[in-house]
Amino acid sequence: MHTGNGLVRAEFVLATPRGPRTVNTMRLVVGGDDGAPGHLIVVLDDVTDRRKSEERIVHMAMHDALTDLPNRTQFQARLREALARVERGERLAVLCLDLDNFKTINDALGHAVGDELLKAVALRLMACVRDVDAVARLGGDEFAIIQAMTVSPSDTATLAQRIRDEIGKPFDLGGVQAVVNTSIGIAVAPLDSRDPDQLLKQADMALYGAKAEGRGIYRFFQPEMDARMKMRHEIEQDLRDAIAAGDLTLHYQPVVDVASGAICGMEALLRWPHARRGLLPPSEFISIAEESGLIIPLGEWVLRQALIDAARWPAHVRIAVNLSPVQFRGSNLAEMVMDACADAGVSPSRLELEVTEAAFLAATKEVLAAIDELRRAGVKIVMDDFGTGYSSLNYLRRFPFDKIKIDRSFVRDLTDDQNLSTVIVEAVVRLARALDVTTTAEGVETIHQLDIIRAAGVTEMQGWLFSPARPIEEIDALFASEATRQIAPAKSSAA
């Protein structure tokens, strides 16, 4: 390159015994007294290391540091390039995916193992795609894929299924085994959009739809998903306002001693009297509260209010409160529970905390220490929805529980003494006796179901046969009546 003052610059690769080196040269011709060229000055500068550093900086700016996959910036650039080919008649699909329950596994096994899992997932994803496709890590456990030159949605469905199968195989992470599933959302160009930002947003909405339907599945974007996403954001904001304004309420369902028929406890069940949507059960908003972090203040309010209400009832009546797995991630769970008991003037021995096995996927030493502290104070730990997870027996072996709640799905199917659900209930009761813990059957709706669980030896029950969940005023009235020592069967047995 001529600089205009006789200086010539150039850069080239030179073969040396040490391997190829990048050399920068500057050559300057110096004239003699007569003006004719007299001298040539050459400066050689080995810039190999500098160029490598510059290349590393550029690479780092465009790649994920952990997996070395393209990052979000490069993914968006490649998506724009791919969409330019769509304008010329090609098709493509964008797949957004994340790992189900990755955070709980990361917390339980440690961040080092979590990082190894992410790197292993990245390798499997790369093995699932073609050279013309692109895989990127967008952050956390979120990945995205550009499937180029597709012929039809069935091509993308095949890829999504292949990814699910590969990710679902066990991972061996330095002697630690982990099993995860993945949820996948898909948007197709030009069918759904030609805009890169919109296409990625649609794939993300489809991912949310897949997770909402049960996780571990894939879903294509549908226009109505946009409306559902907007409704979700609306509910989240309404819930935030309702918590601040104190607009939520608790109902209580009695827990009855099977032998005597007397009330021995109450389960607190959250309800939301929404101004436009009516009385909402937890299934309509708890998942939103968990994803947004609102479950932390909401869960503490439920515990404190339930204890305040329980203080008005007979001292032998226990109060059961459900805990979300998200609440176990806080560092002050035991302190918060004990403060709530003290503020309400309720003995910790009257409190039962109901947890599902999902909470114990993230059972770190700190979580176990908090549970142990609560149990020493007298709080009972209850495994809720027993039998619905793949590893409940393992959790019973590893963690100290005081009660097992038999899921309503088994009680619903109790039809005769030889029914498989009957055999399962009887087996759970025998197991509970061996572990010296009590049992509660949920969802008892008929006298026949009651007879079967009584014969099986179930300790306690709750369900519409005796009472649905009732507002606090009706529960107070129930205890105020001296004549009411037992709950009579409800007239309606509807679910």
Is the pLDDT at 139 greater than 70? The verdict is yes
What was the pLDDT predicted at 327? 83
Q: Taking residues 48-62, report their average pLDDT.
A: 72
Annotate 283-316 with b (16+ C-beta within 10 A) or e (fewer): ebbbebbbebebbbebbbbbbbbbbbbbbebeee
d(CA 384, CA 441): 10
What was the pLDDT predicted at 488? 44
Q: Are residues 187 and 258 in the same domain?
A: no
Is the pLDDT at 420 greater than 90? The verdict is no
242 inside domain: yes
34 band by pLDDT with thresholds 50, 70 and 90: low
Is the pLDDT at 37 greater than 50? The verdict is yes
Q: Are residues 43 and 86 in the same domain?
A: no
Smallest Cα–Cα separation from 74: which of 136, 126, 133?
Answer: 136
What was the pLDDT predicted at 199? 94
397 band by pLDDT with thresholds 50, 70 and 90: low
487 inside domain: no
CA angle 255, 259, 263 (to 5 degrees): 30
What was the pLDDT predicted at 230? 78
Tokens of 206: 């489809």
What was the pLDDT predicted at 395? 64
Q: Taking residues 271-294, report their average pLDDT.
A: 87
363 inside domain: yes
Q: 307-317 pLDDT, tens per residue? A: 999 999 999 99
- Give yes or no for a contact between 464 and 495, defined as CB atoms under 8 angstroms apart: yes
Q: Taking residues 30-45, report their average pLDDT.
A: 70
139 φψ region: left (φ > 0), alpha (ψ -120 to 50), beta (else) = left
Smallest Cα–Cα separation from 254: which of 476, 92, 18, 482?
Answer: 476
487 band by pLDDT with thresholds 50, 70 and 90: very low
Q: Are residues 24 and 99 in the same domain?
A: no
Task: Name the least confident of 25-34, 129-138, 181-190, 399-408.
Answer: 25-34
16 inside domain: yes
Strand partners, 269: 251
Q: Are residues 164 and 115 in the same domain?
A: yes
Q: Are residues 251 and 367 in the same domain?
A: yes
Q: Are residues 312 and 400 in the same domain?
A: yes
Q: Are residues 240 and 199 in the same domain?
A: no
Q: 78-96 pLDDT, tens per residue? A: 999 999 998 888 899 999 9
Counting residues of the chain whose pLDDT is more than 90, the rounded percentage is: 44
Q: 446-458 pLDDT, tens per residue? A: 999 999 999 999 9
Q: 243-282 pLDDT, tens per residue? A: 999 999 999 999 999 988 889 999 999 999 998 888 888 8
What was the pLDDT predicted at 111? 82
What was the pLDDT predicted at 495? 33
Tokens of 74: 């490069």
Domain endpoint, select from 17, 37, 54: 54
What was the pLDDT predicted at 416? 64
Total domains in the chain come to 3
Q: Cα 253 to the chain's mean position, in Å?
A: 28
d(CA 219, CA 209): 7
Q: Are residues 365 and 409 in the same domain?
A: yes
491 inside domain: no
124 inside domain: yes
**Greater model confidence, 54 or 432:** 432
Q: 147-162 pLDDT, tens per residue? A: 998 878 889 999 999 9
What was the pLDDT predicted at 38? 63
CATH number at residue 297: 3.20.20.450
Round the average pLDDT of the chain to a whole number and report it. 85
What was the pLDDT predicted at 2? 47
Burial class, 404, CB count within 10 angstroms (exposed 0-12 / middle 13-18 / buried 19+): buried
d(CA 336, CA 100): 29
488 inside domain: no
Q: Are residues 352 and 441 in the same domain?
A: yes
Domain endpoint, select from 178, 199, 221: 221
- DSSP class of 488: P
Domain hosting residue 94, numbered range? 63-221
Q: Are residues 105 and 41 in the same domain?
A: no
- Give yes or no for a contact between 42 and 27, defined as CB atoms under 8 angstroms apart: yes
Q: Taking residues 195-216, report their average pLDDT.
A: 88
129 inside domain: yes
Q: 342-394 pLDDT, tens per residue? A: 999 999 999 999 987 666 655 567 777 888 889 999 999 998 877 665 445 66
CATH number at residue 113: 3.30.70.270
Kindly report the backbone phi and psi dihedral angles of residue 293, in degrees, each rounded to the nearest multiple of 5, phi listed first.
Answer: 90, -5
Q: Are residues 157 and 289 in the same domain?
A: no
What was the pLDDT predicted at 292? 82
What was the pLDDT predicted at 213? 78
Burial class, 108, CB count within 10 angstroms (exposed 0-12 / middle 13-18 / buried 19+): middle
490 band by pLDDT with thresholds 50, 70 and 90: very low
Is the pLDDT at 13 greater than 70? The verdict is yes
Domain endpoint, select from 200, 221, 242: 221
Q: 110-131 pLDDT, tens per residue? A: 788 889 999 999 999 999 999 9
- Give yes or no for a contact between 490 and 466, defined as CB atoms under 8 angstroms apart: yes
Alpha helices for 63-152 (secondary structure H): 72-86, 102-109, 111-128
What was the pLDDT predicted at 493? 35
Query: Which H/E stretch holds residue 52?
Result: helix 48-62
What was the pLDDT predicted at 81? 92
Q: Are residues 110 and 166 in the same domain?
A: yes
Q: Taking residues 462-488, report their average pLDDT.
A: 78
d(CA 367, CA 330): 9
